[in-house]
Homo-oligomer: A and B are copies of this chain.
Amino acid sequence: MSAKRRSRLSQAAPIFAALGDETRLRLIARLSTDGPLSISRLTAGGRVTRQAVTKHLHVLAGAGLASSARSGRERVWELNERQIEAARECLDGISAQWDRALENLRKFVEE
């Protein structure tokens, strides 16, 4: 398990790190409800500058959580469903590991 789990952990960390910012979570929430959006639309109404939004989007892209494509004079961003699923599955894994540990402890006590 060691090698496999180790690599899974090292891949999961950047994903969680990308999710660990309120502004980025808001962008994700926005993109998940309102669909693909341009940078200016994502910026409008927000509290930070367009550049800040752009940086955050690139962080999300770096973690594989979002991707973009140019369309005319704007760049449209959308979420990457698979990677979000991957993060969820990783947390499921942690929970499962936790449950397994509890179960082992229970067995040990009962024996």
Which of B15, B29, B92, B94 is the one whose CB lies under 8 Å from A29? Answer: B94
Chain B hits for A61, CB < 8 A: none
Tally of this chain's copies: 2
Query: How far apart are the CA atoms of A17 and B26 in the complex, in Å?
Result: 15
Question: What sequence of 0s and 1s flags, for each residue 55-90 of chain A, a beta carbon within 8 Å of any chain B beta carbon?
Answer: 000000000000000000000000101001101100
Which residue of B is nearest A9, CB measured?
A: B25
Determine whether the beta carbon of B22 is less than 8 Å from that of A20. Answer: no
What is the size, in residues, of chain A's interface with B at 8 Å between Cβ atoms?
A: 38
Chain B hits for A95, CB < 8 A: 84-85, 88
Which residue of B is nearest A81, CB measured?
A: B98
Determine whether the beta carbon of A91 is less than 8 Å from that of B87. Answer: yes
